[in-house]
């Protein structure tokens, strides 16, 4: 059965509901229950570990017989395992749901398989509706599930000719206030933010997410990577969260440690050496390149060595969006071939 207009509208609503949930070890999921005529009967979303999942939250708002013959529209495949709560697939079957429309398959080896369980019980199932939008809501969780590491966004700001700073090292500010505000908003969406020790020593960043001078409600955990010592009076040491320091150039080990701490999304802020190291290692899931209409020339490139020796080895990207920000332009992209190597050279000197 093809997805109808009421189900498409319900998926849009379910995605908005999903975003209300907290980021954490569990995915953000939204659900809408529709009558056979397409009328909204109930809504729900997952509100945190140990609380009812989105489907069960929505079902709890209905009388026992109201769900009979209804359609559940969910942003993620209903789970098929028992943890702190029971399987959502079973809850939908027992409630008498006749049809389920969901956006993304659950990649979990234990939690996945809910769609097959539903079909085996005679429930009509349709998947893939607005999958791209759903992926954007839980990209960190999906990467953590599939690859066992945080979802990594690599960001840099550059002049039109690809420089991150003038020849004297000055770089504040290449981009304008609209671009800088966008960066702070995206910082606040991440679990952690990383810089190399070179950037700490050169720029003394605070690594906070701000709206003007005010701190935004969510602050990413500051991460400093590299062998050089961070001064006791560095701004990062006054961050609302205790900084994490990694005296290593092994990015795979850093990501594994962050994953073990529950970090699902990492915002790599700089500088050129660290950004290049993540790109060279194949750990960049998303790229944010802020381009300012200025020319600087000189040696201070936005990227250094990323392991490309010839044009045939170029790292190909897919542009997801071009975003005008005042006089600047933001390119949002992702690698054409997403890989996650086990970092063959742990002594790579890219993170200093």
3-state secondary structure the chain: CCCCHHHHHHHHHHHHHHCCCCCCCCCCCEEEEECCCCCEEEEEECCCCCCCCHHHHHHCCCCCCCCCCCEEEEEECCCCCCCCCCCHHHHHHHHCCCEEEEEECCCCCCCCCHHHHHHHCCCEEEECCCHHHHHHHCHHHHHHHHHCCCEEEEEEEEECCCECCCCCCCCCCCCCHHHHHHHHHHHHCCCEEEEEHHHHHHHCCCCCCEECCEECCCCCEEEEECCCCCCCCCHHHHCCCCCEEECCCCHHHHHHHHHHCCCCEEEEEECHHHHHHHHHHCCCCEEEEEEECCCCCCCCECCCCCCCCCHHHCCCEEEEEEEEECCEEEEEEEECCCCCCCCCCCCCCCCC
Q: Which of 7, 43, 55, 77 is catalytic?
A: 55
Active-site residue, 66 included? no
Show which residues are catalytic: 55
């Amino acid at each position: 059965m093809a997805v109808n207009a009421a189900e498409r509208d319900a998926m849009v609503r379910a995605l908005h509901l999903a975003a209300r949930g907290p980021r954490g070890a569990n995915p953000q999921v939204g659900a809408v229950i529709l009558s056979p005529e397409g009328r909204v009967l109930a809504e729900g979303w997952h509100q945190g570990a140990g609380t009812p999942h989105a489907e069960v939250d929505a079902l709890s708002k209905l009388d026992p017989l109201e769900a009979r013959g209804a359609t559940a529209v969910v942003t993620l495949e209903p789970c098929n395992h028992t943890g702190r709560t029971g399987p959502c697939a079973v809850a939908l079957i027992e409630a008498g749901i006749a049809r389920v429309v969901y956006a993304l398959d659950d990649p979990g080896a234990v939690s996945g398989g809910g769609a097959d369980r539903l079909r085996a019980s005679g429930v009509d199932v349709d998947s893939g509706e607005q999958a791209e939008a759903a992926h954007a809501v839980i990209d960190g969780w999906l990467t953590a599930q599939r690859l066992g590491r945080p979802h990594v966004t690599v960001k840099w700001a550059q002049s039109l000719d690809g420089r991150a700073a003038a020849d004297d090292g000055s770089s504040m500010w290449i981009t304008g206030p609209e671009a800088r505000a966008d960066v702070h908003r995206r910082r606040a969406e991440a679990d952690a933010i990383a810089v190399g020790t070179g950037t700490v020593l050169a720029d003394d960043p605070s690594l906070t997410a701000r709206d003007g001078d005010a701190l935004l409600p969510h602050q990413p955990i500051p991460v400093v990577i590299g062998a050089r010592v961070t001064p006791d009076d560095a701004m990062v040491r006054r961050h609302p969260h205790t900084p994490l320091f990694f005296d290593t150039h092994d990015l795979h080990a850093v990501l594994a440690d962050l994953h073990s701490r529950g970090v699902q999304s990492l915002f790599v802020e700089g500088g050129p050496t660290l950004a290049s190291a993540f790109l060279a290692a194949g750990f960049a899931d998303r790229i944010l390149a802020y381009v300012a209409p200025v020319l600087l020339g000189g040696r201070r490139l936005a990227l250094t060595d990323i392991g490309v020796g010839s044009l045939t080895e170029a790292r190909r990207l897919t542009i997801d969006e071009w975003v005008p920000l005042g006089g600047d332009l933001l390119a949002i992209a992702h690698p054409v071939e997403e890989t996650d190597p086990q970092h063959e050279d742990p002594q790579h000197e890219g993170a200093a």
